Every structure is written in structure tokens, then in C-alpha cells.
Amino acid sequence: MSVAAQSVASAPRVRSGRWAPALAGALALLLVAAAAEIVLDGAAGHSALIPKSPAIAGWLSGVGERLGYRVFLIALLVSVGAYSGLLALARRRELSPISKRSAIALIGALHLIVFVGPILLSTDVFSYIAYARMGVEHGLNPYLHGPSSILGDPVYSYVGKDWKHVATAYGPFYTLLSYPLAPLGVTGALWGMKLEALLASVGTLALTWRCARAREIDPVWAILVVGANPLYVIYGLGGAHNDLIMLVAMMGAVSLTLVAPGSRGREAGAAGLIVAGALVKATMAALLPFMIVSRRRLAPILGALAMLVLGVVVGYAAFGIHGIDVVSALNRDAAFVSTDSFANEIAHLFGKPGVFPIDHDFLKAGLVLIVLHLLWRTWRGYDWIAAAGWSLLAISVTSTWLLAWYILWPLPLAAVSRDRRLLLATLAVQALFVMHQITPLLAPVS
């Protein structure tokens, strides 16, 4: 093709590309506006979506109205639409619609807005604080007692009613990490938890960037996938969930294996970090077999064992045998059923009122088959990061207790995986979760 012909052919592309940054800017503004609407309305006080909380966002109140389902769901749907559009645009690198600086500014704005606002959509953070206060202020073992054992404590009234009698299911490392916040009072601990979640998110995004670069994936696109995700921002960060701490450990481990592949020390460190993450939240243990199968060396096994021994010693010293009995905590939680779980929806589809014990067994069997298939594929050279992401997605889809922040687990892995299907599947599952929330918009009850 001649130079003249090339310039003629590329001219429409250049012209058509001019709209891309403007459209990206408009979509970013929509994301920020939707998050701000939720936070400002949430700051107006307790509602069906905003848990009872100490007045940490009182200075924002008076601007919005009490957050109801209608406004929340519209804002959530707008966020999902804007996020999808932004990702689609960011994929087209030839249009250069979003610079590194713009992406960081957008994600920073979303994080800041949610950080300064109230706790959104979940009482879990008050359970975290209650367990910490049980151990530090009341000398009780949070692995043996539920928050109901500290009825007189100021945090008790904020704990979700379903969790008042439930002992902690989190790992000993997380419980110990939360202990320093206990003496700060409920408000101080709440800010501490929010700060922990914020820092964990920033760490996860930095590591996602690093992993994407190591894999020659556009890092701007990768951090947008994670950091601008509405469920990640509104549910994960908004609720200050400890899943974000698990995610930073997860991406730390992935980063160690990607940045210097073949380094035995780093592989041992990565396996150790996975175990450390599992001692925050047990789900992260799902990564370990995939990493070991992909490396097929002694170093990661030794790294994992070393961290496991450390975790058992620390957990036993701090909490006794119950602090390291992860299996019984997992079994207890696996029996819970949430209305948003796909298992529950499928039961309704087949005319059953809900999930029965036999269904739990079928789901576990299905999950085992999926994991075995993925392990075989990893053994035969499939990307272990993608395999681990699929297994996390399978855990959330087959779980009868599905919450929005559980479908965040595979997201950072999907952003840096070599299998694009994982990201599509993760986003599709998230979209179905959001779709399942919209009933109050279709038929409001008054």
C-alpha cells in the first residue's frame, strides 16, 4: 500500500478515535457520580441498605436523602453500564482513550469517595470489630464465642442479627491483625478497618499492575477491570470487607511467581504468602494446589509448609485448638443459604422451595470435579493463575451462601490471566448477581 493510500485509510480511524477520550471521560464521570450518589444518600443515615453505625460520615449528611432501593439500584445499574463501556473502550488501545494518569485518577476518586462515606450494605465490619474487642477488651476467645457474649459492649448493637451468636470464621492471622484496632473504640476501629480495606485495595491494584506488565497485558486496562468494578468499589470497599486483605495477599503471591519466574526463593515466598492469605480467609487456600502443580518443585511446598507451621503455632498460641480448626468453621458456613446464591435460584427454577442437604452434596461433588479437571489442565501446561481464578469462581457459583464480595475473588486473577474466558465469565456472574438485585425496582413494596 502506498503512503498516500495509508494516510487516506488511517484518516477516518483517527477521526473516529477522537470521540474515544471524550466518551471515556463521560463514562468515568458517570461512575464517580453514581458512587457519590450512593455515598451521599448513605450518609443521611440508617436504612435498609445502610447498617446502623456510629456517625462516621455525619459531615456528609444533609446533602442526600436516606438511601432507598430505587436510588441505589439505579446508581448501581448506571455504574455497571459505565464500567462495561469503559472496559470496552479501554480494550481498544489504538484509540488510546484512557491514559495511565486518567485511570489512576478515576480509581483514586472512587476509592476516596467510598472511603470518606459510611459503611455500605453490610454489617460484617462490626462483626470484625466485635471479635477483636472480645479478645482484647473482654479476654474472650472469638473462636469459641459469638458477639452475644459481649452484650454490654458498644459494638454489640451494630452487629448483624444473624451473626450475634456466631463465632468467627476468619483465620487467626486476620483476627490478630484486627486486634490492634480494638482499643481505639468502635469509631476508631471502624476507621481503622476502612483504612485497612483501602490500603489492601491500593496494594491489590499496584500488584495487579505489576502482574499485568509482567504478562504484557495493558496494565491500565487491568487496573480498570479491578479498581473501577462497581461490586469491588461499592460492596467490597464500601463494606470494608476483609476479602480485600485476602486479595492483596493473593496478588502478592501471583506477582512473586510472575516477576522472577524460576526463582525458587520467590516461589517458596509465594506459596507461603498463599498460606498466609488462607490464614486470613480460608478460601485463598484454593490457589495453592494450582501453584504447586504448575511449579512441580519442592520450594513452594516447603514455603507453604513453613508458613503453615508458623500459622498453626501462632494460631494455637493465641486462640488454642479452635483458632486453627478452619475445617469446622468452613463446614458450618457452607451450610448457610443466601437468597442470592445460584443454588437457591436453580432450586426455585425447578419448583423447589430452596436448597436441601442433598443439594449441598451435589454442589460439593461438582466443585471437586471442576477442581480436578483444572488441576489436570494445569499439570498439562494450562495457566495456573487462570485455573486458580476458575476455581475461585466455581467456589462462589456453587456456594449456597453467595455475597457480592465473594464474586470479587477471581477478578484480579481474571485481569492478568491468559484465558480471556475467565474475565468474561467473572463479569457475567457479577452481572447476573446485579440483575438478581433489581426486584425492588420492578415491584417496590411500601
Partner 1 sequence: MSAAPSSGPGGFGTRLPVRFAPRDVELPGLGTMRLVETTVLVLVGLLLAVATVDDVVLETHVNQRLVADLRTWREYTGHDYKNLSVEQDLRGHTTRDVICGNTSPGPPKERTQLCLAMTGPVVAGRREARSGWYLPPKSEDLRGKRYGCFGVAKDEGLCSP
Residue 279 is given by DSSP the state: T
Helices 100-116 + 185-214 axis angle, to 10: 160
Distance CA 192, CA 197 (A): 9
**Under rule CB under 8 A, which residues in 37-66 are in contact with partner 1?**
none
Nearer to partner 1, 208 or 398 (CB): 398
Contact track, partner 1, 273-302, x by CB under 8 A: --------------------x-xxxx----
CB atoms within 10 A of CB 102: 16
Query: Is 287:388 a contact under the CB 8 Å cutoff?
Result: yes
Tell me which stretch binds partner 1 (CB under 8 A): 163-171, 216-224, 272-280, 432-440: 432-440
Query: Is 143:320 a contact under the CB 8 Å cutoff?
Result: yes
Judged on CB neighbours under 10 Å (0-12, 13-18, 19+), 55 is: exposed
Nearer to partner 1, 313 or 435 (CB): 435
Distance CA 294, CA 384 (A): 6
Per CB under 8 A, the list member of 72, 126, 174, 382 interacting with partner 1 is 382
Distance CA 159, CA 152 (A): 13
- Rounded to a whole number of angstroms, the minimum distance from the CB of residue 71 to partner 1 is 18
Q: Per rule CB under 8 A, is residue 421 in the interface with partner 1?
A: yes
**Under rule CB under 8 A, which residues in 326-365 are in contact with partner 1?**
342, 344-346, 348-349, 351, 353
Q: Per rule CB under 8 A, is residue 380 in the interface with partner 1?
A: yes
Letter string b/e over residues 119-148, b meaning 16 or more CB atoms within 10 A of that residue's CB = bbbbbbbbbbbbbbbbbbeeebbbbebbbe
Number of residues that bind partner 1 (CB under 8 A): 35
- Rounded to a whole number of angstroms, the minimum distance from the CB of residue 399 to partner 1 is 13
**Under rule CB under 8 A, which residues in 102-131 are in contact with partner 1?**
none
Tell me which stretch binds partner 1 (CB under 8 A): 18-26, 114-122, 180-188, 425-433: 425-433
Place of cell 474472650: 140
- Rounded to a whole number of angstroms, the minimum distance from the CB of residue 213 to partner 1 is 20
278: left (phi over 0), alpha (psi -120 to 50) or beta: alpha
Residue 56's SS3 state is coil
Cell numbers of 106, please? 478515576
Query: Is 282:171 a contact under the CB 8 Å cutoff?
Result: yes
Distance CA 390, CA 290 (A): 11
- Please, what's the largest Cα pairwise distance for the chain? 82
Q: Per rule CB under 8 A, is residue 210 in the interface with partner 1?
A: no
Nearer to partner 1, 321 or 443 (CB): 443
Nearer to partner 1, 33 or 441 (CB): 441
Contact track, partner 1, 235-274, x by CB under 8 A: ---------------------------x------------
Q: Per rule CB under 8 A, is residue 428 in the interface with partner 1?
A: yes
Q: Per rule CB under 8 A, is residue 425 in the interface with partner 1?
A: yes
Query: In which element (H, E) is residue 322 found?
Result: none
Nearer to partner 1, 75 or 293 (CB): 293
Q: Per rule CB under 8 A, is residue 2 in the interface with partner 1?
A: no
- Rounded to a whole number of angstroms, the minimum distance from the CB of residue 117 to partner 1 is 28
Per CB under 8 A, the list member of 397, 403, 411, 423 interacting with partner 1 is 397
Nearer to partner 1, 108 or 354 (CB): 354
- Rounded to a whole number of angstroms, the minimum distance from the CB of residue 379 to partner 1 is 5
Query: Is 127:163 a contact under the CB 8 Å cutoff?
Result: yes
Query: Is 247:412 a contact under the CB 8 Å cutoff?
Result: yes
Q: Which residues bind partner 1 (CB under 8 A)?
A: 262, 293, 295-298, 342, 344-346, 348-349, 351, 353, 377, 379-382, 397, 421, 425, 428-429, 432, 435-436, 438-440, 442-446
